[in-house]
C-alpha cells in the first residue's frame, strides 16, 4: 500500500500576490480575504505589509493564511495601502526569511515592501550585483567560487531568494532624489524570466508584469479604491469589479489620482498554458477566457482524441472535475462522482504516525464503493507528473470493486521541468521520460503499465491550446514541448540536463 511519503504533491505554483490601495477601508482584512482566495497558489507561508504614509508594518509567517493571521493581528495593521503574498518555495528555502512580502529601507529612508510571483532566470547575475553592493551577504559576489568550496562552505551562508534580491535592488535605487518609479524603471528591464510584482512605498501601490506575461495579474476597482491580484477570483472575493489585466511589460502606480501607467518593455505574450490546465482557480478568467470553460472544452476534445469504452466517467477531484464533465459530454458516457475528497486535507505541520501513513491516498480521497463496483471507469485527471498518486488511486479503485480503470489526462505528457515558477520535478523524475527518444506510443504504453491502468490517453498540445482560445505563439508550453521562450537559468543542473536532452532530440 502506498504511504504518504510515496504520494506526490500536485504541481505547485510558486506564489499569489495581492495589493490594495483604499483609503478609509480596512485594507489588512481586504488583503486577508484576497489571500484566502489565492491560497491554492501557495501554502507554505503568508504575509502582508500595510502602509499608512509614514511607515510600513510587515507581518508574515510559515503556514496557511488562516494559521498566520488572526483578528487581533489584522486589527493592529492599520493603513490605506497593503501588499499580501502566499508562497511556495521554488527559489530559496521554506524558511521564515523567505516568506513575503520582502521589506527593505531605501537609502533615503523610504520603506519598500514587495511581493513576487514567478522565477527569474538571471538570478545569479542579480545576486552578484546585490552582493557587490553590500545589499546581501558579500560572499555571494562570486556564487561559483562559493559553490566550489563544497557543501560545508556553501552552508555557511544561505542564499537569498530572487524576491529578496529584487526588493534589495529596487530599494537601493531610491536615493539622491530618485523615486520608486525611477528605480523600478531602471530595474525591471534588467529582470529576465517570469515575474508579477506588487510593491508599495507606504503611500502608493505599484504593480508590474514581465514582458511575456507568463503569470496572470489583474486590476479591480473598489468603491473607494483599487485592487491588484494574481487571479480575478480574488477580485470577486473582495467585491472588486474587474477592470483589465496588467499588460506584460507594464508598470502601474495607484494613488489618489488614479492609475498611472508606464511601459518598461514591449509586450510579447507567452502566458503559461498550465494556468488554464491546473494552476488557476476554475472561477478565474485569464485573457478573457474563463478557466472552467477551458477545462470543460479540454475534456470534450480529450474524448475525441482518446475515446474509451466505459460505464461511467469520474473525476479525480477537484482539479479533474471540469475536464471530466467535458469528457462525459463529448463521449456520451454518464458522468458520476466515484470519489469523495476530504476538503480539509491540505498541508499540515503535524506528522502522521506510521499507522496513518499507511492509509496513503485515503487521507485525501475515498471511493464510493456502491457507485463504482463492477463498473468500467473512465478516470479523468489533470496531469501526470511522477505517477505515484495515479498508481495508488488505481489500486484503490480496483480494491473497491472497479471492473476496469481507463485513465484520461486533461493535459499532454509533462516531459520538461519548469523554470518560470512551477515546481515540476527534474527530467529524470518525470514519468513521461520513462522511454528514451520520441516514441510517443511506447511512452504511453510504458506509463500505462507503470500506473496499472487498463488504458491511458492524453490530450494533445494542439487541443489543449485550442481549448484556451489563445494563439499557440502567445503561450508558453515548455513543460510539454521543451521550448523555453524566456531562456533557462545559467548554472542550474536541471537546465544543463534539459539542454543535453534538447540536443539529443534535435531541438536546438
Residues 181 and 317 in one domain: no
Compute the average pLDDT of residues 9-13: 50
pLDDT at position 154 over 70: no
Confidence of residue 381 (pLDDT cuts 50, 70, 90): very high
User: 222, 194, 221, 220: which is closest to 208 by C-alpha?
Assistant: 194
Residues 216 and 306 in one domain: no
Query: Is the distance from CB of 458 to CB of 418 less than 8 angstroms?
Result: no
Compute the average pLDDT of residues 161-181: 96
Residues 81 and 201 in one domain: yes
Query: Is the distance from CB of 391 to CB of 419 less than 8 angstroms?
Result: no
Confidence of residue 353 (pLDDT cuts 50, 70, 90): low
Any idea which of 52-56, 212-216, 443-447, 498-502 has the lowest mean pLDDT? Answer: 498-502
Query: Is the distance from CB of 174 to CB of 219 less than 8 angstroms?
Result: no
What percentage of the chain reaches a pLDDT higher than 90? Answer: 75
Query: Is the distance from CB of 169 to CB of 161 less than 8 angstroms?
Result: no
Residues 297 and 429 in one domain: yes
Residues 122 and 245 in one domain: yes
Determine the pLDDT at residue 424. 73
Residue 326 CA from chain centroid, whole number: 24
Does some domain include residue 167? yes
Q: Which residues contact 266 (CB under 8 A, 6 or more apart)?
A: 211, 249
Compute the average pLDDT of residues 26-34: 98
Does some domain include residue 115? yes
pLDDT at position 238 over 70: yes
User: 32, 45, 33: which is closest to 88 by C-alpha?
Assistant: 45
The domain tally of the chain equals: 2
Q: Mark which of 218, 236, 268 sits at the end of a domain.
A: 268
Does some domain include residue 275? no
d(C-alpha 426, C-alpha 418), whole Å: 9
For the residues of 106-174, what is the DSSP string, one character each?
-TTS-EEEEEEEEEESSHHHHHHHHHHTTSS-GGGGSHHHHHHTHHHHHTTSPPPPHHHHHHHHHHHT-
Confidence of residue 6 (pLDDT cuts 50, 70, 90): very low
User: 253, 289, 255: which is closest to 271 by C-alpha?
Assistant: 289
Of 15, 196, 198, 477, which is the active-site residue?
Answer: 15
Determine the pLDDT at residue 25. 96
User: 246, 291, 257, 300: which is closest to 273 by C-alpha?
Assistant: 291
Residues 320 and 233 in one domain: no
Q: Which residues contact 449 (CB under 8 A, 6 or more apart)?
A: none
Exposure string for 438-464, b = 16+ CB within 10 A, e = fewer: eeeeebbebbbebbbbbbbbbbbbebb
Determine the pLDDT at residue 94. 59
Determine the 3-state secondary structure of 442 from DSSP. helix
**Residue 315 grid cell:** 473525476
Which position has the higher pLDDT, 94 or 213?
Answer: 213
Confidence of residue 152 (pLDDT cuts 50, 70, 90): very low
Does some domain include residue 359? yes
Q: Mark which of 268, 302, 331 sits at the end of a domain.
A: 268
Which position has the higher pLDDT, 210 or 9?
Answer: 210
Does some domain include residue 152? no
Determine the pLDDT at residue 363. 78
Can you state the percent helix, strand and coil of the chain, rounding each to 5?
35, 25, 40
pLDDT digits (tens, 9 = 90+) for 476-500: 999 999 999 999 988 788 888 888 8
pLDDT at position 155 over 70: no
Residue 182's domain comprises 16-145+159-268
Output the pTM of the full model: 0.91
Does some domain include residue 394? yes
What Å distances lie between residue 48 and 61, 109, 200, 237, 293, CA to CA? 10, 20, 11, 17, 32
d(C-alpha 279, C-alpha 12), whole Å: 7
Residues 483 and 451 in one domain: yes
Determine the pLDDT at residue 343. 73
| 448 is an annotated ligand-binding site residue | no
CATH code for the domain of 94: 3.60.20.10
Residues 170 and 254 in one domain: yes
Q: Which residues contact 246 (CB under 8 A, 6 or more apart)?
A: 196, 207, 208, 209, 217, 218, 219, 228, 252
Determine the 3-state secondary structure of 17 from DSSP. strand
What Å distances lie between residue 13 and 88, 155, 417, 480, CA to CA? 7, 27, 13, 16
User: 91, 127, 98: which is closest to 13 by C-alpha?
Assistant: 91
| 196 is an annotated ligand-binding site residue | no
| 479 is an annotated ligand-binding site residue | yes
Query: Is the distance from CB of 205 to CB of 258 less than 8 angstroms?
Result: no
pLDDT digits (tens, 9 = 90+) for 247-301: 999 999 999 999 999 999 999 999 999 999 999 999 999 999 999 999 999 999 9
pLDDT at position 153 over 60: no
Determine the pLDDT at residue 359. 66
Length of the chain: 508
pLDDT digits (tens, 9 = 90+) for 85-118: 998 754 445 577 779 999 999 999 999 999 999 9
Residues 311 and 389 in one domain: yes
Determine the pLDDT at residue 130. 96
Does some domain include residue 1? no
CATH code for the domain of 411: 3.40.50.2020
Residues 89 and 137 in one domain: yes
Residues 176 and 302 in one domain: no
> Is 15 one of the catalytic residues?
yes
Residues 182 and 230 in one domain: yes
Task: Enumerate the β-bridge partners of residue 422.
Answer: 13
Does some domain include residue 274? no
Amino acid at each position: 500500500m502506498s504511504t504518504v511519503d510515496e504520494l506526490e504533491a500536485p504541481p505547485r505554483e510558486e506564489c499569489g500576490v495581492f495589493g490594495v490601495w483604499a483609503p478609509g477601508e480596512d485594507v489588512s482584512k481586504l488583503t486577508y480575504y484576497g489571500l484566502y482566495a489565492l491560497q491554492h497558489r501557495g501554502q507554505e507561508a503568508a504575509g502582508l505589509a500595510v502602509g499608512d504614509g509614514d511607515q510600513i508594518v510587515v507581518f508574515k509567517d510559515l503556514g496557511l493564511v488562516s494559521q498566520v493571521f488572526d483578528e487581533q493581528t489584522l486589527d493592529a495593521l492599520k493603513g490605506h495601502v497593503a501588499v499580501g503574498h502566499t508562497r511556495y518555495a521554488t527559489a530559496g528555502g521554506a524558511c521564515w526569511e523567505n516568506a513575503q512580502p520582502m521589506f527593505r529601507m531605501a537609502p533615503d529612508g523610504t520603506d519598500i515592501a514587495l511581493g513576487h510571483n514567478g522565477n527569474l532566470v538571471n538570478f545569479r547575475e542579480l545576486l552578484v550585483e546585490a552582493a557587490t553592493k553590500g545589499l546581501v551577504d558579500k560572499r555571494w559576489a562570486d556564487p561559483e567560487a562559493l559553490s566550489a568550496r563544497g557543501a560545508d562552505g556553501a552552508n555557511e551562508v544561505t542564499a537569498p531568494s530572487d524576491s529578496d534580491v529584487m526588493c534589495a535592488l529596487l530599494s537601493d535605487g531610491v536615493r539622491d532624489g530618485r523615486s520608486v518609479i525611477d528605480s523600478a524603471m531602471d530595474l525591471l528591464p534588467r529582470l529576465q524570466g517570469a515575474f508579477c510584482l506588487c510593491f508599495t512605498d507606504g503611500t502608493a501601490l505599484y504593480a508590474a508584469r514581465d514582458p511575456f506575461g507568463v503569470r496572470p495579474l489583474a486590476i479591480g476597482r473598489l468603491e473607494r479604491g483599487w485592487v491588484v491580484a494574481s487571479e480575478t477570483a480574488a477580485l470577486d472575493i473582495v467585491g472588486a469589479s474587474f477592470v483589465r489585466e496588467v499588460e506584460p511589460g507594464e508598470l502601474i502606480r495607484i494613488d489618489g489620482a488614479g492609475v498611472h501607467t508606464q511601459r518598461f518593455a514591449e509586450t510579447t505574450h507567452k502566458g503559461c498554458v498550465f494556468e488554464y490546465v491546473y494552476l488557476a482557480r476554475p472561477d478565474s478568467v485569464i485573457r478573457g477566457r474563463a478557466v472552467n470553460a477551458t477545462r470543460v472544452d479540454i475534456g470534450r476534445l480529450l474524448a475525441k482524441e482518446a475515446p474509451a469504452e466505459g460505464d461511467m466517467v469520474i473525476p479525480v477531484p477537484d482539479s479533474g472535475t471540469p475536464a471530466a464533465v467535458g469528457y462525459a459530454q463529448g463521449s456520451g458516457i454518464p458522468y458520476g462522482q466515484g470519489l469523495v475528497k476530504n476538503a480539509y486535507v491540505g498541508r499540515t505541520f503535524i506528522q502522521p504516525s506510521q499507522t496513518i501513513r499507511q492509509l496513503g491516498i485515503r487521507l485525501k480521497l475515498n471511493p464510493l464503493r456502491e457507485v463504482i463496483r463492477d463498473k468500467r471507469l473512465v478516470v479523468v485527471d489533470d496531469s501526470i507528473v511522477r505517477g505515484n498518486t495515479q498508481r495508488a488511486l488505481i489500486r484503490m479503485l480496483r480494491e473497491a470493486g472497479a471492473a476496469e480503470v481507463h485513465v484520461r489526462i486533461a493535459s499532454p505528457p509533462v516531459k520538461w521541468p519548469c523554470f518560470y515558477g512551477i515546481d515540476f520535478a527534474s527530467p529524470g523524475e518525470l514519468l513521461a521520460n520513462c522511454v528514451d527518444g520520441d516514441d510517443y506510443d511506447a511512452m504511453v504504453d510504458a506509463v500505462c503499465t507503470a500506473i496499472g491502468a487498463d488504458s491511458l490517453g492524453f490530450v494533445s498540445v494542439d487541443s489543449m491550446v485550442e481549448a484556451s482560445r489563445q494563439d499557440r505563439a502567445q503561450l508558453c508550453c515548455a513543460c510539454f514541448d521543451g521550448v523555453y521562450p524566456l531562456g533557462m537559468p545559467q548554472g542550474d543542473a536541471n537546465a544543463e540536463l534539459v539542454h543535453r536532452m534538447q540536443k539529443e532530440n534535435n531541438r536546438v
